[in-house]
Structure 1
Amino acid sequence: MKIKYSIIIPHKNDASNLKKLIESLCDLRECEILIIDDHSTLSEREKLDILQRKYTNVMISCSNITGAGAARNLGISIARGQWLIFADSDDRFDREMNKKISKYFESNYDVIYFKPIIKVSNQNDYRFFFKGIFDRYLLCPVSINEWTIRLNFDVPWSKMIRTQYVKQNDFQFSNSLKQNDTMFSEMVGINAHSVKISDSSIYAVIDRASSTSHQLSKEYFESSLKIIIESYIYKRNHVATHRLIESDMAHFHSPLYAILLSLKHYKSVVYTYRVYSLFKKNKIPIFTWKAYRSLIRRSHFFNI
């Protein structure tokens, strides 16, 4: 049977959750599951071996890679499916996912976006923003709202991406500690010739305190800072300004938000000035009307 889609899952010492993720699918006949392990302990590796023996379409790769970004890139390079689906080991699929995505297998879309299910207790969590932009599009499916998803849904999960599209354009995940998926997701959305936004849900995000999205050390913050700068420059060079103004809810205020965050968490004017200088070095404006307007707009969006 031809492999219709490849599920790529980076993994490190989380075999119990990984097992639940795989078991959340009731139909695995048309897919391969690529688990890219990042130096798990021997006991966790033994659990992976059990999974591989139980499911014939599960492949375990234990190459000498470090980080989720590198793991996903390796998964892309060995994927045999027509489509790519990315997942984190601690989340869950919808049991009927295969049925929901099968109608798009022979479509000409580059990307199909699915409305994410957010199972997170903190109502201010940034992932509720993703749910909100899907709700807005499904209520009013116009170009401005489509581009809000293309530009702002900067995570790899809850979407199906044509493998050939990714490989031909050599889209890669970053090897950063934090936000390694941002640039990949934005490039996929920006460059797609044709996308579909579905009202179906195939993926549920489940919060976990150990997630890198909760890490606030300077090392993680500075990793995130590099991605913010890279994203800003890429969008400035590849997306029309009017489209950014209409549809991007983060582009203009991200530099200002990063500066405010650095001052709040690290309480050092000297350090915050260093952050400010990085933006200035890259000719990224900070204290602008567009930045203030964008920040207020996004704050209001969370309350919709």
Structure 2
Amino acid sequence: MTSLTIIIPHYNSTDTVLKLLDSVPVKKEIQILIIDDHSNQEEKQKLMKFKDNSTHRDIQFLENDSGKKGAGSSRNVGLKNAIGEWILFADSDDFFVDGFYDSIEKYFNANVDVVFFKPTSIELETGNISNRHTRFAEIIDDYSETNSRKSELMLRYRVVVPWSKLIKKSVIEENEILFENVISSNDVMFSANLGHHIKTFDISKDTIYCVTKSSGSLTTSMNSEVFDTRIDVFVRYYKFLQEHLSKEDFNSLDLSGQGIVFLSTKHGFKKFYNVIRVFRKNNIRIFHRNMFSPVKFFKRVALIQSHRKNTKRLN
């Protein structure tokens, strides 16, 4: 039986995806799906050469033939071809940490829909610790310490990335949960729908996944088209949570468009004005209620200082 399917969208990133594949142990229980998203011919040839010489015999190379380009469409192709009882998603420039399979294997017979694992992250150019994982890690720590309703809601709805989650395939199939065919933030509504439908879950402080951050990624470089897509996705996400949560639960998430508003200033006044107009039209809160809280401010300062110390330690 295939216990696990790992789904990897790929676009012209052969060198990094080979590092990702090297981080996966060779086991007959693992199905690896690489879905190519219209890479150039040279990159495709590199992948096929690797497949021919690899000890991984269960790697399948698929084409994103959906008619829609993007990581979301590619992931949906992967879901259509997955045979594992459990699913892990990985981005082609990230990798799994040593011993990750031992951490997830013990959950294969668990009566849960999702297991959230604590991730880590690094800067690709320097190898220093990055901050891409910190919010996810903080939410896991908070749930572990408080087990409160708010911390559960944060796990379900504010961890909008697909990686570092072990997901039972049946939950995805039974509820027809798919990724959006958009240029950016394709995983936000997938994660929100998943959070809404899971009945049982567990958390683990084991680290199984390392996210990378590079100067050329969508997380660090955002043109106008990408930015506009993120606005559209955020509006749908906000309305989805309003519709599916009680007023008390929704308010406890303290969801706002504050981050997007701040980012819009980098695109000029016209973009800033348009964001404000869209949010007001959709009755979206623009600023966090606790924006001016001194406690929150000093916590954020402490987090930044801790990140700087960890970075210096690696130098």
Instruction: Tell me the TM-score normalised to structure 1 length.
Output: 0.89
Distance 1:278 1:301, change over 3 A: same
* CA apart distance, 1:105: 0.9
1:213 match: secondary structure: coil
Q: Which residue of 1 aligns with 2:290?
A: 293
Identity level (%): 30
Name the residue aligned to 2:25. 26
Alignment of 1:103 with 2:106, yes or no, is yes
The answer (yes or no) to whether the contact 2:178–2:190 under 8 Å persists in 1 is yes
Determine the structure 2 residue equivalent to 1:191: 197
- Aligned-partner residue type, residue 44 of structure 1: E
Partner of 1:79: 82
Pair 195,235 (structure 1): closer, same or farther in 2 beyond 3 Å = same
* Structure 1 residues without counterparts, runs of 5 or longer: none
- Unaligned stretches of 5+ residues in structure 2: 304-315
Q: 1:123 to 1:80 in 2, by over 3 A?
A: closer
Map 1:238-277 → 2, pairs under 5 A = 238-246=244-252, 248=253, 251=255, 253=256, 255-262=257-264, 264-268=265-269, 270-277=270-277
Q: State how far apart, in whole Å, the 2-side matches of 1:87 and 1:215 are.
A: 20
Provide the C-alpha distance between the structure 2 equivalents of 1:26 and 1:124, rounded to a whole number of angstroms: 25
Q: CA RMSD in A?
A: 2.2
Alignment match, 1:48: 47
Residue 152 of structure 1 and its aligned partner are, at CA, apart by: 1.2
Q: Distance in 2 between matches of 1:295 and 1:77?
A: 46
Moved more, 17-26 or 69-78: 17-26
Say how many residue pairs are matched.
Answer: 294
Paired residues of 1:178 and 1:213 also in contact (CA < 8 A): no
Inter-partner Cα distance in structure 2 for 1:286 and 1:205: 29
| Structure 1 outlier segments of 4+, above 4 Å | 121-124, 294-301
Instruction: Letter of the 1:111 partner, please give it.
Output: V
CA 1:34–1:220: 2 relative to 1, 3 Å: same
- C-alpha displacement at 1:31, in angstroms? 0.9
Question: Does the 8 Å contact 1:26/1:95 carry over to 2?
Answer: no
Aligned to 1:127: 133
Alignment of 1:226-245 (within 5 A): 226-245=232-251
SS of structure 2 residue aligned to 1:215: coil
